[in-house]
Structure 1
Amino acid sequence: MSTYILGLSAFYHDSAAALVVDGIIVAAAQEERFTRRKHDKGFPQHAIDYCLREAGITAAELDHVVFYEKPFLRFERLLETYLGVAPTGFGAFLKAMPQWIHQKLQLPREMNRGLGGLYRKPYVFTEHHESHAASAFFPSPFEEAAILTLDGVGEWATASMGRGRGHRIELTHELHFPHSLGLLYSAFTYFCGFRVNSGEYKLMGLAPYGEPRYVDTILQHLMDLKEDGSFRLDQSYFNYCQGLTMTSEKFARLFEGPPRSPESELTPRELDLAASVQVVTEMIMLRMAHHLHALTGSANLCLAGGVALNCVGNGRLLRESPFERIWIQPAAGDAGGALGAALFVWHQLLDKPRPLTQPDAQSGSLLGPAPDPADIESTLRQRSAVYTRARDEADLCDRVATLLAEGNVVGWVQGRMEFGPRALGSRSILGDPRDRKMQSKMNLKIKFRESFRPFAPIVKAECASDYFDLLPGQESPYMLIVAPVQEDQRIEDDQPAEGLARVNDVRSTLPAVTHVDYSARIQTIDTARSPRLHRLLSAFEAQTECPVLINTSFNIRGEPIVCTAADAYRCFLATGMDALVIDDFILLKDDQPEESVDAHTAYLARFGKD
């Protein structure tokens, strides 16, 4: 008899469900993909239903249901924090309590309802950073590894260190709230006018445009940083313990004025603040990594937690830390906690062995639903869409490669949807990285987002070191490593622009994916994880001598990554994409019937903001 374990995360950020069967990850998905509400933190009902369908079972057949943290411990931390700062913070306390009383402290009731009353066994609650650590180590290809988790905050822990061996993990060191690298980064995200829990990517992308002139200010005033990477934050500069904002008036005085208003013009101050907090973040990550290596002596490092999505910091860990190999959970944030919790029950609590899987046990993180060809055709016919179908995979890849080589932007929907925040070539928008105008075109006319935002390259794994500063055979399959562009691919500008105008400078033979600091957030494509995408890259290389494409997530600003064929077709029509490929169906924008302008306007009004 198989053992079915359902892991859940909910109510804080990116609710998700994951199903593990006899230790094998069968399905995992974020609730946002189904509800179309970005970062949906409600109960993951649709994600649960999908996982059960994928396994072909009902809730009655589940053996264990596990939640990724201990709500009462988190509630204890909230109460102690509010009491510690009282009477300030009373407004934040009043705002938080109704949801806690009616929902978050009633999790068994909520889970009973979500499972239709069919699950009659006890519920399991792991600790937040245990779930992160399990998600980092258990799917990794390592028999043993050091483990580092970094995020905003769980129950009390904001970071943890430990080690995994075989089918066990042990966490030995923790950093506790309110001292948090994730919250420090989010405070600067807020102060620079971006939304907390979604704008951190923007801050990281903005950092290379600025100068890190506030690094000493941060280190001297905001924090007491130790050699082992631990630190204490001076809470007089922050407001997240007692208020509804991240920073205090004292923070604003220190950094020369009030927070930037969202959507207002970015000034040199914001560029320099982004650069400075990024430098400090990397400094802390490296110090923690060196300390962890001294504790464990391991050659391998596994990472999870929201800070593990800082791919610039990850790149420095790969190049400068003592660890020889690094594996990062693709769904490093709270969503991945659902997966980690399920794996923790199987290995740690049930004491089940862990056979090593190469290249890893994450299945390329392609763990969501796949479109059925019959459903695709039905969807397209209902919308009177005009399409052709490729004869076979070779014909499909040749035709799409030609479209890309001609300068077209292509929406690409293939197979199972990605689990985690990155599109990894299953729900992607693709373009030609050699086109110097492609970055601004895709940002402004397709993604409807800030022009400074960089795009990531996908590259055939066997060619990656020809273009990027990676060792031969070094992988970045989940787009979580930033590396420099190789010197012989760079183009130096004698008269570079300043500030955000630098986005238009041509910096390499791949201008659309080379950031202003000559770096790129790389995804290596291999035949084991992504055989069709690898074949497309080979077809593009045959036509252009370039084995690299732009890959960005298939969505517009403020919208989750598309899930279904209907989502993809609607987004395709409402943007400047030239072509859409769903499985072997090929659609050209110029061939489509006239659509209602009102429908497009309504779509963009709902999603075209963040």
Structure 2
Amino acid sequence: MGLKGVQLINNSQMKTGTDVNVVGISFGYHDSSCCIIQNGKLVAAAEEERFTRNKHEFSIPQQAFLYCLQEAGISISDIDYLAYYENPSKKLARQIWMGLLPNTSTHRIQALANRLKDPNQYLREIREKLGYTGDIEFIDHHLSHAASSYYFSGFDDAAVMTIDSVGEWATMTYGYGNGNNLSIEEEVNFPDSIGLLYSAVTGYLGFDVNDGEYKVMGLAPYGKPKYVDKIYKLIESSPNGQFRLNMEYFSFLTDDRMYSNNLSELFGQPPRVPESELLDFHKDLAKSLQVVVEEILLQKVNYIHDKFPSDNLCMAGGVALNCVANGRILREGPFKRLFIQPAAGDAGGALGAAAVAYLKLNRAQSIKPMENAYLGPSFTSDYIHKVLESTSINYLDFRNDQDQLLQEVTCNLMEGKVVGWFQGRMEFGPRALGSRSIIADPRDSGMRDLINALVKKRESFRPFAPSVLESKSKEHFDIDHASPYMLETCQVISDLDLPAITHVDHSARIQTVNSKTNPKYTALLERFFERTGCPILLNTSFNMRGEPIVCTPLDAIKCFVKSKLDVLVLEDFVIFQEDVPEIWEYFINRTEDEQKVSVNNLVYTLL
């Protein structure tokens, strides 16, 4: 495919002023998002799903775009460049190739025909729906992924590895960054894809493709690696950077299903019916898949270190959200430091696209490291007060006494209450990091089952993550560095009994918290520690199954009522479930009943 990288534009094209605003967007497939880099700093980023309330929103990020402009304090005319996270022409070439394959489904052919009617649809949508008339840059998908990690890592140099299902043609890339220079030196190309392998088995196990992969990862510790040899029949890895899928077991090239009937024959079991009982077979298959993926990724990490012997590794792409594999890569691999873009999936591609475009305009400048993931909207206490005053909901007001607020929340946590915690700017990426979180006492043996069954309404096998004071993390978890984004797992070594956050294999996907990045959440953890001797809280995302994480105070109130949480903390206000009028539950349930039922994807979005 040739070498790709950041190609700097001519001096005559370079921006000469001091204020430079570059917008990055991703949309068209899943996880639409928008961000803005202002004078080298990432000042705002948000996923469109948080505004539309449609999980994995794919449409153009109109509301996220408006938010980013507002947060940056600029108008649309102040944008110097807009960057889109992939190359539509190259993607269309791959789609045409797929459409010409024998036995391609009628649905696929029709979808392709619709695309061919409007090959410039992304450019047109940007112009029409965002109202933007300036310069637009299309950045290759995996370069966007690579840039989203490397340029925001703070490393002076790093090997860079990206892994997902598919971009234009690439599914995995190996590159190197040094200073402002970033290049992709090698690719693995479609249809060979670790991401599509994982998605195919995800679908076979009865979970939604492009959504349930993390469920397979959570299910794996309950099983035994009985089928590793058979998984290796699906994928053959070479000693270098390449590997190949055995397409005999996959049908995503021509059909609207990820796997072929040969997969069922290989394992001697029919595909699992969604929501049906999980048998030992399903658990063992999940474990086997996870083991193989970890082994291959470790092999490729050693390969890229041989090519680019840096101490630092940067990763992005949807597979980089596999926190179990990430933990092994850091513990067993050759790199001393690892940075993974917190929004490693397609949403984060907007960041990388914006970074590449920014550096094209500003050769002498650099991108400032990502300080935290709190890049979304926030709401003042005065605004929230006005909302609450209009709802007829009773509340406690702690606007003038944060110490008393922390005391109130801590007491409720100690009493076994489940708390919705809504504070500050919303997180960017799939993890709740103490801004839009549901929190609880991790020492409560019944807490995990309670939240899974009554609040999150999700599978009982799925673990919850702990938030821990960074200064106390080494005392309770086998980790020697900060982990602020919940992107790796480690073993629980605490003397405390922590059943609510300890997985069946004694692991946990931790978030370390400090006062620099999240002072209020840190203060709550410190208060809980003072009262209990436990510097840890259970932390899960503030949403119910099938819904995006809450964005606004009204979103939080709706989720609070539906989920039957005990307590809701909206900035400086505390609400108890019993103080919510019954009319709210009627209103929310009626609205929910009238919503259209979404159809789960049966195949990864390849077209």
Alpha carbons of 1:597 and 1:396: their partners in 2 closer, same or farther (altered >3 Å)? Answer: closer
Q: How far apart, in 1, do the equivalents of 2:103 and 2:85 lie?
A: 32
CA contact (8 A) 1:448 1:557 kept: yes
Q: How far apart, in 1, do the equivalents of 2:88 and 2:185 lie?
A: 22
CA contact (8 A) 2:103 2:254 kept: no
Q: Which residue of 2 aligns with 1:548?
A: 536
- The answer to whether the aligner puts 1:438 opposite 2:450 as a matched pair is no
CA shift for structure 1 position 341: 0.4
Alpha carbons of 1:101 and 1:136: their partners in 2 closer, same or farther (altered >3 Å)? Answer: same
Q: Which residue of 2 aligns with 1:406?
A: 415
Task: Map residues 151-170 of structure 1 onto 2, 5 A cutoff.
Answer: 151-170=164-183
Q: Which residue of 2 aligns with 1:447?
A: 456
Q: How far apart, in 2, do the equivalents of 1:120 and 1:430 lie?
A: 44
Q: How far apart, in 2, do the equivalents of 1:305 and 1:599 lie?
A: 39
Alpha carbons of 1:590 and 1:598: their partners in 2 closer, same or farther (altered >3 Å)? Answer: closer
- The answer to whether the aligner puts 1:111 opposite 2:120 as a matched pair is no
Q: Which residue of 1 aligns with 2:274?
A: 262
SS at match of 2:575: strand
SS at match of 2:583: coil
Q: Which residue of 1 aligns with 2:52?
A: 35
CA shift for structure 1 position 165: 1.0
Q: Which residue of 2 aligns with 1:89?
A: 105
Q: How far apart, in 2, do the equivalents of 1:344 and 1:396 lie?
A: 44
Q: Which residue of 2 aligns with 1:368?
A: 376
Larger mean Cα displacement after TM superposition, 88-97 or 377-386: 88-97
CA shift for structure 1 position 154: 0.3
Q: Which residue of 1 aligns with 2:320?
A: 308
Task: Map residues 279-298 of structure 1 onto 2, 5 A cutoff.
Answer: 279-298=291-310
Q: How far apart, in 2, do the equivalents of 1:375 and 1:329 lie?
A: 32
Q: TM-score, structure 1 length as denominator?
A: 0.92
Q: How far apart, in 1, do the equivalents of 2:415 and 2:140 lie?
A: 51
Q: How far apart, in 2, do the equivalents of 1:40 and 1:176 lie?
A: 26
CA contact (8 A) 2:81 2:135 kept: yes
CA contact (8 A) 1:556 1:608 kept: no
Q: How far apart, in 1, do the equivalents of 2:98 and 2:116 lie?
A: 17
Q: After superposition, what is the alpha-carbon deviation per residue over 1:577-603, rounded to whole angstroms, capped at 9, x for unaligned?
A: 110001111111122222354334345
Q: How far apart, in 1, do the equivalents of 2:111 and 2:586 lie?
A: 37
CA contact (8 A) 2:80 2:135 kept: no
- The answer to whether the aligner puts 1:428 opposite 2:441 as a matched pair is no
Q: After superposition, what is the alpha-carbon deviation per residue over 1:405-456, rounded to whole angstroms, capped at 9, x for unaligned?
A: 1111100010100110111110000000000000000111110111111000
Q: Which residue of 2 aligns with 1:273?
A: 285
- The answer to whether the aligner puts 1:336 opposite 2:348 as a matched pair is yes
AA in 2 matched with 1:370: S
CA shift for structure 1 position 22: 1.2
Task: Map residues 48-67 of structure 1 onto 2, 5 A cutoff.
Answer: 48-67=65-84
Q: How far apart, in 2, do the equivalents of 1:263 and 1:224 lie?
A: 32
Q: Which residue of 2 aligns with 1:558?
A: 546
CA contact (8 A) 1:559 1:608 kept: no
Q: How far apart, in 1, do the equivalents of 2:360 and 2:305 lie?
A: 23
Q: After superposition, what is the alpha-carbon deviation per residue over 1:281-335, rounded to whole angstroms, capped at 9, x for unaligned?
A: 1111111111111111101111100000000000001110010111110000000
CA contact (8 A) 1:556 1:607 kept: no
Q: How far apart, in 1, do the equivalents of 2:197 and 2:73 lie?
A: 43
Q: After superposition, what is the alpha-carbon deviation per residue over 1:37-74, rounded to whole angstroms, capped at 9, x for unaligned?
A: 00000111111111111112221221101100001100
Q: Which residue of 2 aligns with 1:567?
A: 555
Unaligned runs of 5+ in 2: 1-17, 601-607
Alpha carbons of 1:227 and 1:348: their partners in 2 closer, same or farther (altered >3 Å)? Answer: farther
Q: How far apart, in 2, do the equivalents of 1:596 and 1:376 lie?
A: 17
AA in 2 matched with 1:402: C
SS at match of 1:291: helix
Q: How far apart, in 1, do the equivalents of 2:385 and 2:53 lie?
A: 22
CA contact (8 A) 2:202 2:208 kept: yes
Q: How far apart, in 2, do the equivalents of 1:599 and 1:197 lie?
A: 31
Unaligned runs of 5+ in 1: 490-507
Q: How far apart, in 2, do the equivalents of 1:603 and 1:470 lie?
A: 45
Alpha carbons of 1:568 and 1:607: their partners in 2 closer, same or farther (altered >3 Å)? Answer: farther
CA shift for structure 1 position 362: 2.1
CA shift for structure 1 position 96: 4.2
SS at match of 1:287: helix
CA shift for structure 1 position 575: 1.3
CA contact (8 A) 2:159 2:312 kept: yes
Q: Which residue of 2 aligns with 1:45?
A: 62
Task: Map residues 155-554 of structure 1 onto 2, 5 A cutoff.
Answer: 155-219=168-232, 221-348=233-360, 350-354=362-366, 361-390=369-398, 391-471=400-480, 474-486=481-493, 489=495, 509-554=497-542
SS at match of 2:107: helix
Q: TM-score, structure 2 length as denominator?
A: 0.93
CA shift for structure 1 position 388: 1.1
Equivalenced residue count is 580
Q: How far apart, in 2, do the equivalents of 1:291 and 1:570 lie?
A: 49
Q: How far apart, in 2, do the equivalents of 1:541 and 1:377 lie?
A: 30
Q: How far apart, in 2, do the equivalents of 1:417 and 1:536 lie?
A: 18
SS at match of 2:563: coil
CA contact (8 A) 1:558 1:607 kept: no
Q: Which residue of 1 aligns with 2:23?
A: 6
SS at match of 2:564: coil
Q: Which residue of 2 aligns with 1:492?
A: none
Larger mean Cα displacement after TM superposition, 161-170 or 131-140: 161-170
CA shift for structure 1 position 272: 1.1
CA shift for structure 1 position 103: 5.9
AA in 2 matched with 1:305: G
Q: After superposition, what is the alpha-carbon deviation per residue over 1:467-495, rounded to whole angstroms, capped at 9, x for unaligned?
A: 11112xx0110000100111x64xxxxxx
For the aligned residue pairs, the C-alpha RMSD in angstroms reads 1.7
AA in 2 matched with 1:248: S
Larger mean Cα displacement after TM superposition, 263-272 or 144-153: 263-272
CA shift for structure 1 position 81: 2.3
Larger mean Cα displacement after TM superposition, 103-112 or 288-297: 103-112
Q: How far apart, in 1, do the equivalents of 2:474 and 2:335 lie?
A: 20
CA shift for structure 1 position 104: 6.3
Q: How far apart, in 2, do the equivalents of 1:75 and 1:352 lie?
A: 35
Q: How far apart, in 2, do the equivalents of 1:578 and 1:604 lie?
A: 21
Q: Which residue of 2 aligns with 1:497?
A: none
- The answer to whether the aligner puts 1:124 opposite 2:127 as a matched pair is no
- Aligned identity (percent) is 46
CA shift for structure 1 position 254: 0.7
CA shift for structure 1 position 212: 1.2
